[in-house]
Structure 1
Amino acid sequence: MTPGADPLANLKPIHLPAEPGWWPPAPGWWLLALSVVVLTIGMVLAWRHWRRRRAPVRQADAELARISAETDAVRQLSALNQLLRRVAARVYGPGAASLAPAQWSEFLTTHAPAGDQNPLRWQQLAQAPYRGIDASDDTLSIDALGMTRAWIQANLKRARPC
């Protein structure tokens, strides 16, 4: 090096690094993408589980709507009893659906929702298809629809999904 020479003259210009590319993403973006995928899968599985658990309720509601359109009170009460027996068989096992009318009305009373455990009402509902009713007595069938709907909603909460 010669005296008086500029030591900086021999330096090469500064080279800036290249701009970072968009691929591959930083680890934080991978973590975010993974968490979105896991969350989406979890939500889909939870939704399917909820739909599966609600399927019996939807089926019972559809059946109740069909039964409520029935004009013959004896047929309507018979259909309500059959629906109650199917729900009881699903929730409590097949033995519950094969009970005789007296035990059936006791079973309905025992498993009735709170505040609706009047044995006489459930006995009327359980025995109405067998004893027949007056054509003018439509208050029982209207009340029976509400009783059945409340009983099914209260008891299907105990059912396990398919």
Structure 2
Amino acid sequence: MQKLVRKGAAVAAVLVSAVALTACGSNGEVAKPGDGGGSAAPSAGASGSAARVALADAEGAWLGVTDGKPVTLTISKGGQAVVISEAHVCQGTAKEGDTLTLALTCKDGNTDRASGTIGSADGKQLVVTWDSGKTDTLAKPAASGLPTNMPSIPALPSLPPQS
């Protein structure tokens, strides 16, 4: 039961940080999570090639659905990154270089989203290609509130009164 409480607390903390970051960076014109299928336009480009994605392009909270499961990614201005997918909470850094890369560690040892590259970010949509072969297409959530299609945190069982 303590494990469930810790996971619930971690999910709640990430959602709070996602809402806080979203309120700071949204322009009100926001795509809904899952919109846009599996691809996004490159950030910019000449002759059809994608331009380098800067950390500033990827900052904020991003939500989506991959393989029918919700995925959230939050990137701070300092380059701290957190991804939540299924029961996995992974945190680490986003670093600029030739590409914008994510280097994360999951406490449970999962490696599906431990290392990846952000291929495009246009302010509405962000695409991450993970070294595991997964690709997440994520969107900025509406600034007006949390999405309604996210799973709920299970209620804790009532404890018997103590005498």
**Larger gyration radius, structure 1 or structure 2:** 1
More strand by share: 2
TM-score (normalizing by structure 1): 0.28
TM-score (normalizing by structure 2): 0.28
More helix by share: 1
